[in-house]
Copies of this chain bind each other. A is one copy, B any other.
């Protein structure tokens, strides 16, 4: 493949991206998106129509002038596999080029600490087979999971380490498709940015209310990772004075007070002390139980979530001062009870932010619910088509600093 073909391919992929994020666009829109002239854009669009991956969808309306042609992706020309993992489970789904789920997907349970890459590969290959997908029509597999992940090198440093090889390389060899990996919170942020309430936002913070408190940051329209990929360690900022030792070894981390794990621990303690609550009927009081009872209105569950939320709000107040985001999105597992989190967090923001900042920041609840991570996995693939890992690694090596 010559260099000119590569750059052409990337131009194509930019157009595919534009259309994946928008049902249909005019040639002018696409021309702006890819930063090329209209004649050139139209030439490329025609090629893609001939290729069969883009179709014409009639004319858009006009405010007084010739009506523009609408271009869209052909929905079933290609598909994307998205794999969303948490510490304890994984879901696999397939999406078409209109970002729609083409089936119900499958779910598997495990403890990620004991999960083997081969198991993961087996689940994915089985899924592709059972969904009846032809691998030639699959753009790629987006795997999103907890851990400290380098998406460019294709390595998860926390889980699923493969000796002498990157996880992505190993997966690609055994699945026969392009594979991309990303951190779960980051994936949720991607999903919210492209298809959720953070759509169109260049400066957004997406809080992943889950087993821990994850944070995905969109800075200047792009996912922000920091110098060594560790940025967004929100759940370990030292702002709590409860003396509890965190798993990370430090005291005072936000997650010792506000994660679902911390909330569950508190619930168990309170119940033991004889607190009345509909939680008593559970054999093991875990996050799912608390969320379930909180929805039903159990006082203790609601109280515990509210308290945790206020502490998270204090942390968010600090984030706002430093990053001045346009929106903050509450997403992730626990955001299904988003209403319960919202007002304590908003109150903490009002109490701890300078007014100009508090007013300039919108606090929103995800409307993607538990789909955010799966959608983020699909976005991950779309964002990376046209940039195979090998090319990225070459760039990393070349990187010249003047």
In this complex, what residue of B is CB-closest to A401? B200
Instruction: For A323, list chain B residues within 8 Å (CB).
Output: 226, 231, 322
Beta-carbon contact of A236 and B321 below 8 Å: yes
Instruction: For A314, list chain B residues within 8 Å (CB).
Output: 238
- Which listed segment binds B: A181-189, A301-309, A353-361? A353-361
In this complex, what residue of B is CB-closest to A325? B227
Beta-carbon contact of B220 and A224 below 8 Å: yes
Beta-carbon contact of B354 and A250 below 8 Å: yes
Instruction: For A234, list chain B residues within 8 Å (CB).
Output: 321-322
Question: How distant is the Cα of A25 from the Cα of B314 in the complex, in angstroms?
Answer: 49
Beta-carbon contact of A219 and B224 below 8 Å: yes
Beta-carbon contact of B322 and A232 below 8 Å: yes
Contact of A219 among B220, B229, B319 (CB under 8 A): B220
Question: How distant is the Cα of A222 from the Cα of B221 in the complex, in angstroms?
Answer: 13
Question: How distant is the Cα of A219 from the Cα of B239 in the complex, in angstroms?
Answer: 24
Contact of A268 with B by CB under 8 A: no
Beta-carbon contact of A22 and B402 below 8 Å: yes
Interface residues of A in 231-259 (CB under 8 A from B): 231-234, 236-239, 248-250, 252
Beta-carbon contact of B250 and A352 below 8 Å: yes
Contact of A33 with B by CB under 8 A: yes
Beta-carbon contact of B360 and A227 below 8 Å: yes
Say yes or no: A402-B33 contact (C-beta < 8 A), given A227-B325, A354-B249: yes
Grouping DSSP codes into helix (H, G, I), strand (E, B) and loop, the A interface class, with mixed when no group exceeds half, is: loop
Question: How distant is the Cα of A323 from the Cα of B239 in the complex, in angstroms?
Answer: 16
Number of copies: 2
Question: How distant is the Cα of A249 from the Cα of B351 in the complex, in angstroms?
Answer: 10
Instruction: For A356, list chain B residues within 8 Å (CB).
Output: 230
Contact of A10 with B by CB under 8 A: no
Question: How distant is the Cα of A200 from the Cα of B400 in the complex, in angstroms?
Answer: 11
Beta-carbon contact of A230 and B324 below 8 Å: yes
Question: How distant is the Cα of A274 from the Cα of B22 in the complex, in angstroms?
Answer: 71
Instruction: For A325, list chain B residues within 8 Å (CB).
Output: 226-227
Contact of A202 with B by CB under 8 A: yes
In this complex, what residue of B is CB-closest to A348? B238
Beta-carbon contact of B32 and A227 below 8 Å: no
Instruction: For A401, list chain B residues within 8 Å (CB).
Output: 200
Contact of A231 among B200, B227, B324 (CB under 8 A): B324
In this complex, what residue of B is CB-closest to A355? B249
Question: How distant is the Cα of A47 from the Cα of B215 in the complex, in angstroms?
Answer: 50
Beta-carbon contact of B322 and A322 below 8 Å: yes
Interface residues of A in 350-396 (CB under 8 A from B): 351-357, 360-361
Say yes or no: A228-B354 contact (C-beta < 8 A), given A317-B238, A318-B318: no
Question: How distant is the Cα of A29 from the Cα of B400 in the complex, in angstroms?
Answer: 9
Beta-carbon contact of A402 and B25 below 8 Å: yes
In this complex, what residue of B is CB-closest to A248? B354
Contact of A18 with B by CB under 8 A: yes
Question: How distant is the Cα of A198 from the Cα of B356 in the complex, in angstroms?
Answer: 30
Task: Report the minimum CB–CB distance from A341 to chain B (whole Å).
Answer: 19
Beta-carbon contact of B233 and A354 below 8 Å: yes
Contact of A203 with B by CB under 8 A: yes
Contact of A265 with B by CB under 8 A: no
Interface residues of A in 126-147 (CB under 8 A from B): none
18 A-B pairs with C-beta separation under 8 A: A33-B402, A200-B401, A203-B226, A217-B322, A220-B220, A225-B324, A226-B324, A226-B325, A227-B326, A227-B360, A230-B356, A230-B357, A231-B324, A232-B322, A232-B324, A233-B321, A249-B355, A322-B322
- 4 closest Cβ pairs, A-B complex: A226-B324, A231-B324, A227-B326, A203-B227
- A interface list, Cβ under 8 A from B: 18, 22, 25, 29, 32-33, 200, 202-203, 215, 217, 219-220, 222, 224-234, 236-239, 248-250, 252, 314, 317-319, 321-326, 351-357, 360-361, 400-402
